[in-house]
């Protein structure tokens, strides 16, 4: 899990990257905030890119851990996906902001590793949606998944809420209701795909 100093550096980087953006934070400022020097950070991380990659690894691992094992019932699986993503966003707002804004800042190697892990996570969403809404075009399912995840992650953009419980219940219910209503749009989608513009 890394040394105590590495954990302090990562926690500090998480806060600074979320507040100021990855490119705006230099190693000297990161070191000073972490109680060390910029040059001393290189004893633990080869580069700032490696630190960002480690934060994305942490985010991916935490999401999967919160989600737990696959569930046979697709609606139970979907609810678990929504709950895991929403709770992650509420509990780790800084890390969620980094996930939202800094994927393009990842180096090529770290981006490939992150995308591989994310693909396994997204597959669980699509698998659950396909079982809940058989016959709905995959493009519609992907769009619904992206909309749901955007809604869940948008909580990180809000000011610190006074009542997390109200926010959680509201966002959760809205996301699940939107996904449940997906089958209502099947006919218009089919019309578009068939070229029927009547």
The CATH number for 163's domain is 1.10.357.10
CATH classification at residue 31: 1.10.10.60
Confidence of residue 135 (pLDDT cuts 50, 70, 90): confident
Dihedral of alpha carbons 151, 65, 53, 124, sign: negative
Confidence of residue 160 (pLDDT cuts 50, 70, 90): confident
pLDDT (0 to 100) of residue 191: 47
What's the CA gap between 96 and 66, in Å, rounded?
Answer: 14
Say yes or no: 68 and 6 in one domain.
no
Q: Which residues of 98-124 are buried (b: 16+ CB within 10 A; e: fewer)?
A: bbeebeebbeeebeebbeebbeebbeb
Say yes or no: 3 and 67 in one domain.
no
Comparing CA positions, the residue from 92, 76, 66, 194 lying closest to residue 153 is: 92
**Averaged pLDDT for residues 103-129:** 94
Comparing CA positions, the residue from 12, 159, 174 lying closest to residue 93 is: 159
Say yes or no: 35 and 55 in one domain.
no
Extract the tokens encoding 176: 């699940």
Say yes or no: 150 and 58 in one domain.
yes
Residue found under tokens 């990659």 = 53
Say yes or no: 58 and 86 in one domain.
yes
What's the CA gap between 81 and 63, in Å, rounded?
Answer: 9
The number of domains in the chain is 2
Say yes or no: 58 and 147 in one domain.
yes
Say yes or no: 80 and 96 in one domain.
yes
Say yes or no: 64 and 31 in one domain.
no
Distances (CA, A) of 139 to 58, 95, 184: 29, 29, 15
Say yes or no: 134 and 68 in one domain.
yes
Say yes or no: 100 and 20 in one domain.
no
Say yes or no: 169 and 111 in one domain.
yes
Domain that holds residue 171: 48-194
Q: What is the dihedral of CA 65, 127, 82, 173, to 10 degrees?
A: -160
Whole-prediction pTM:
0.86
Q: Looking at the predicted structure, is the pLDDT value of residue 186 above 70?
A: no
In whole numbers, what is the pLDDT of the chain averaged over residues? 90
pLDDT (0 to 100) of residue 195: 53
Say yes or no: 57 and 138 in one domain.
yes
């Amino acid at each position: 899990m890394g040394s105590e100093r590495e954990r302090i550096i990562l926690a500090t980087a998480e806060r600074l990257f979320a507040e100021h953006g990855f490119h705006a934070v230099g190693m000297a400022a990161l070191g000073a905030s972490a109680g060390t020097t910029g040059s001393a950070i290189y004893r633990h991380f080869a580069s700032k890119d490696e630190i960002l990659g480690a934060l994305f690894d942490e985010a991916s691992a935490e999401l999967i851990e919160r989600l737990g094992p696959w569930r046979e019932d697709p609606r139970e699986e979907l609810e678990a996906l929504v709950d895991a993503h929403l709770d992650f966003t509420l509990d780790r707002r800084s890390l969620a902001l980094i996930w939202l804004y800094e994927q393009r800042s990842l180096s090529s190697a770290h981006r490939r590793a992150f995308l591989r892990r994310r693909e396994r996570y997204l597959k669980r969403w699509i698998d659950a949606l396909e079982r809940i809404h058989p016959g709905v075009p995959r493009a519609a399912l992907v769009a619904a998944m992206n909309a749901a995840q955007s809604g869940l992650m948008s909580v990180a953009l809000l000011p610190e809420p006074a009542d997390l419980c109200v926010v959680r219940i509201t966002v959760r219910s809205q996301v699940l209701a939107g996904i449940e209503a997906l089958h209502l749009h099947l006919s218009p989608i089919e019309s578009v795909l068939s070229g029927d513009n009547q």
